[in-house]
Chains A and B, each alone.
Chain A
Amino acid sequence: MSAQVSGHPVPVGGIRQAWNDGLVVTWRNLKRIPRIPELAIFAILQSIMFVLLFAFVFGGAIMLPGYTDPNAYREYLMPGIFVQTLAFASATTAIGFAEDSKKGIIDRFRSLPMANSAVLSGRTVADVVYNMGILVVLMVSGLAVGWGVNSSIPEFLAGVGLLLLFTFAMSWIGVWLGLSVPSVEVAQQVSFIVIFPITFVSNAFVPIASLPTWLQPIAEWNPVSTLTAATRELFGNPNPFATDNLPSQEPILVTLMWIVVIVAVFAPLGVRKYRQTSK
């Protein structure tokens, strides 16, 4: 063997390499945000528009059952909008991956002596950071239309933490999806078709009691519902959703369970898909 080999950096392997490589890829994905400012600007405008539309179009018409305060619905609604917006993190991730595959940079990564997980974790972490920014915009808009936090600071932070963990989990679904679809357009459509109903068959916009009886158990166990209920509880917003079932009684616990299950299923699937990907 030639002398070059001995002087060559050998992959250190293990968690440290996964961490370092993951950070490099995260950096790369975050750089994209200021370089394509249009994307962030439109995402911000869309978030503001959503809050305003729901608050003023539905906000005035819907009276939250059991509440006399007309503002109750807006307070009720905002956590639903947070969760719906963050659920679309999987779409952001899927589209990002589909773009990378198309441009061949995934192939370059796969030919490098880097940790297998780094391209994926770097993407999901960057998407969480990105969505954190979106969440801030949503919250500020929410404050402007009458939403507020009526709990303690630790509870508020716990709520934000839960929202971000959920974003992280959804992002792993996006990893698998983005690597499974043939093009950016398909990634976009599939995400929309899957996520849209999931966010609507839930308590995000209307109380579950108003849904048809056969749909209620599905909506009740839906992670979007459990997270929305958990967020309302932690933010001290109206949360009129109480049956004796586990998701209603322990929304935080059930949400954490969902997050673990989603990551446990989709992270290995994503890594496997990544190693197989070939253009």
Chain B
Amino acid sequence: MDNKNFRQFDLKKKPRGFETVVQGLLFLTGILSIFITVTIVYELGKEAMLFFNDPDVTLIKFFTMTRWQPSIGEYGIVALVSATLTTSFIAILISLPLGLASAIFLSEYASLRVRSILKPVLEILAGIPTVVYGYFALLFVTPILKLIFSGSQMQTYNMLSAGLVMGIMILPLIASMSEDALSAVPRALREGAYAMGATKLETSLQVVVPAALSGIGAAVIVGISRAVGETMIVAIAAGAGPNFSFNPLDAAETMTGHIARISGGDLSYNTIDYTSLFAIALMLFLVTLVLNLISQWVVNRFRERYE
């Protein structure tokens, strides 16, 4: 073998400038997403630090005061968190049972034809912009609720209407994620249950759902994270003005709704109003980040592996 000639054809060692440049560029686009995350944390953190560095603001006040109006020295984020919790709770209360039941029906009961008709309904619901849901909440659901609760002091803007509509908005998300989890359960498990004489219901509830529990759990957590971060429905229908209340019939402003309302007005930089918004946004970011990480962890940790 002529070694010298052979080396000439070793194309792996041939320098390819263009390829290297392109590969470098692709790598840059790849790590851009990390750069975005870092920028979010940096920008939110920078302004939030300005807020917390204000001598008047203490973490104790931030987490224990029940009134929020930074311009007059009231820094109780709890007033906003209470509304976020209430609306999200109502939303999950609606969307979890309905979404899970829809998923079980689609994955276990529906024939192919029925599925092909019903699935698009969920897809359309998922594709409707949230501002449209806001319109729906304020001008359709709220008047109906007012008829139902005509005796009590229900306010025009209320958390119940916003929460209910948010539940409808999250329903398709929970349904489609749960359905994916249910369909991933191997057929052999179902056949085994049928062979033991189980009915379809017993198979679904006692075999398939437990086997898909990690996926369903992840769906619920993602649903909560979506509810916490949802803005337009609560901005339109839940009320304008922080209010420490867990009563669904009250008007109250969520964290997101507050950011939207304040930043929508004339806002001058470097005021406490401005920096406080970033403190709220940072909280939102961290809460949803933790929820999303938990959901990914749940999926990976508790996934039943079928080979």
Q: Do A and B come from one complex?
A: no
